[in-house]
Amino acid sequence: MGSETENLVGRCLTGDADAFRELYRNHRPHVARLVQRILGPDSEVEDVIQEAFIQIHRSLPSFQGSSLLSTWIHRVAVNVALQHIRRRKRQRAGPVTMVAEPPEPSSGDPAPEEDVLWRDRMRKLYAALDTLSPKKRAVFVLHEIEGMSAEDIAKTMHAPLITVRTRLFYARKALYALLAADPSFHELVGGGGG
C-alpha cells in the first residue's frame, strides 16, 4: 500500500470526515458505474451506492493493504450489489424501473423509434441477466461490460480463477440461449448457434 493511500486510510480510521469525503470523491464514480452495470435498470441504484459506501466506512478497519484500496473497495461494492440482487429476487414486488439512459448519439437527439428500440433491448438484456445467479451475473458484467480480466475479477470477488472462468462460461451460454431467439440481438449473438 502506498504512503498516500496508507495516510488516507489512517485518517479515515481516526474519524477524519474530510478524509472519508476524499475517499468517497475519489472512488464514487467507479463504484457508481460498477453498481449501475451490475444492477442494470434498477430504481435503487443510488441507494445501493450509498449502502456500499456505508459498508466501506464500517469495514475500513478490516482493510489490511494486501490488495490495492481500489480493489478492496470494488469487492465491497460488488458484494453490496449482489446482496441487493438477492433481496430483489426474493421480494419481486413489482416491475423494475428503467434508470439507464441510451448512449448519446454523435449528432443531435436520437429518433424516438431508436430510443424506444434501445430501451426495449436494455429491458430484454437485463431480464436475461436476471435469470443468472447473482455471482454469474456479476462475473459477466465485470468481464463483458467493465472489461476486467478474469484474474482481476478473481481478486475482486475472492474466488478462484477457475471458478470465475466457469461462471463466465455458463453465464455466456445461458445468455446466448436466451438472446439468440430474439431478432433484435442477432448482431450480438451472431444470429446462429453457439
Give 61-104 pLDDT, tens digit per residue. Answer: 999 888 889 999 999 999 999 899 888 777 664 444 334 444 44
Q: Is the pLDDT of residue 49 over 70?
A: yes
The mean-pLDDT minimum among 6-10, 34-38, 39-43 falls in 39-43
Domains and CATH numbers, the chain: 1-100 (1.10.1740.10), 108-194 (1.10.10.10)
Q: How far apart are CA 43 and CA 150, in angstroms?
A: 29
Q: How far apart are CA 20 and CA 63, in angstroms?
A: 14
